[in-house]
Amino acid sequence: FSLFELLLLAEMLLFVLVLSATVLGCTTQVCPCESQELCQQIRDERDFEVFVFDVGGKTWKSYNWSMVTTVATFGKYDAELMCYAHSKGARVVLKGDVPLSDIVDQDNRTTWITEKVSLAKSQFMDGINIDIEQAVEADSPQYHALTALVRETTEAFHREIPGSQVSFDVAWSPNCIDKRCYNYVAIAESCDLLFVMSYDEQSQIMGDCIAMANAPVAQTLNGYLQYLELKIEPRKLVMGVPWYGYDYPCLNLSQEGVCSIPKVPFRGAPCSDAAGKQKPYSWIMKKVNDSMSGRIWDEQQQAPYFNYKDQTGQIHQVWYDDPDSICAKAGLVKSKGLRGIGMWNGNILDYSDDPVAQQQTAMMWNALVGC
């Protein structure tokens, strides 16, 4: 080699080195936490699960972190939340949703799973919550694809992120609610836990079109009995409670306080809770004070409600959950030996520094662990 050729070779080598270093630098994620340790995924299994859905913003700073075990992040990725949750020993999990028709194809399904695992790794997340609320016919290609999706996602996460958690969201009952006829038994077997969405229980009203509780206690209990009848282990079930209620405009309000609601059909039912609007507990607590009726407790449904008149003179009935109704349901978690409890969603309490709000908020958190 001439000196010139050697120099050229050295220069090329250097270029290759610099290039590969840059590429590596881009793919190796830098831990955003103040200490490297906080980027490590959580491996411990806690005895009682408190599963929180977070929809974004910074109110997570006011959660009761001595309870929280898992936060499913349905808002934008927030590295600060990840670091903080890890400092409290809590998991942070991704949201997973995909049109089922796209993942009937095995290659597409594998691609989706690979992307989620690599996203979770790059964001130092501890698993994924699969939230597919699509209508599925039993034994259809989508039905089998969904079962395979949950199994393959769990395998990939457990292999790539040891100790990670894969959960799946199910309706309040396995009985084809909202036409979601899934293979609940196989899905429960292949993932770590089912988050049972014990709310929106009036999504298909078959009887009188009237305002009712979002999650009546007896109906909620019945849903768990149905899951347990399928021989799904109680330790696989996390009870989801609503931190929101429904505000229904009444077509008329009977003497007995029954509120007839407009007919809004949903997935085969003539009436549904879609006739109402979902309202956060923070809004409800302000509204109940200047309502016509004040808080009324319905003995049969074991839920509170109230009536109010809006500015146009229209009467509304609002059904919601409060510490009393949540306590009744939290009692079932204990008596049935379920894995834990959680809510939709963590952000919708009043986290301001108003002392009345602070007290109400603390009571809602504490109701999760019973009375």
Residues that bind ligand NAG (CB under 6 A): 64, 66-67, 102, 104-105, 108, 251-252, 254, 260, 285-286, 289, 356, 362, 365-366, 369
Q: What are phi and psi of 190, to 5 degrees?
A: -95, -5
Min dist. Cβ of residue 63 to ligand NAG (A):
9
Annotated active-site residue in 133, 155, 189, 201: 133
Q: Is 133 a catalytic residue?
A: yes
The pair phi, psi for residue 365, each rounded to 5°, is: -65, -45
Q: Which is nearer to ligand NAG, 176 or 357 (CB)?
A: 357
Of 156, 125, 159, 153, the closest CA to residue 29 belongs to: 125
Q: Residue 95 or residue 158: which is nearer to ligand NAG going by CB?
A: 95
Least Å distance, CB 258 to ligand NAG, is: 8
Asked whether the beta carbons of 234 and 338 are under 8 A apart, the reply is yes
Which residues 6+ apart lie within 8 Å of 360 measured at CB? 281, 285, 349, 350
> Cβ closer to ligand NAG: 50 or 92?
50
What are residue 165's DSSP bridge partners? 127
DSSP state of 111: H
Give the alpha-carbon dihedral of 191, 77, 238, 272, to 10 degrees. Answer: -110
**CA atoms of 181 and 144, how far apart (whole Å):** 11
Q: Which amino acid is at 190?
A: S
Q: How far is the CB of 298 from ligand NAG (least distance, A)?
A: 19
For ligand NAG, the closer CB: 68 or 125: 68
For the bound state, the minimum distance from the C-beta of residue 102 to ligand NAG, rounded and expressed in Å, comes to 4
Q: State which residue, 58 or 286, has the beta carbon closest to ligand NAG.
A: 286
How far is Cα 368 from Cα 371, in angstroms, rounded to an integer? Answer: 8
Cα 86 to Cα 241: distance, rounded to the nearest angstrom: 24
Q: Which is nearer to ligand NAG, 35 or 106 (CB)?
A: 106
CB of 360 to ligand NAG, least distance (A): 8
Between the CA atoms of 117, 118, 124 and 126, what dihedral angle is there, to the nearest 10 degrees?
0
In angstroms, rounded to a whole number, what is the distance separating the alpha carbons of residues 63 and 84?
A: 11
- Gap between the Cα atoms of 161 and 184, Å rounded: 25
Annotated catalytic residues are 133
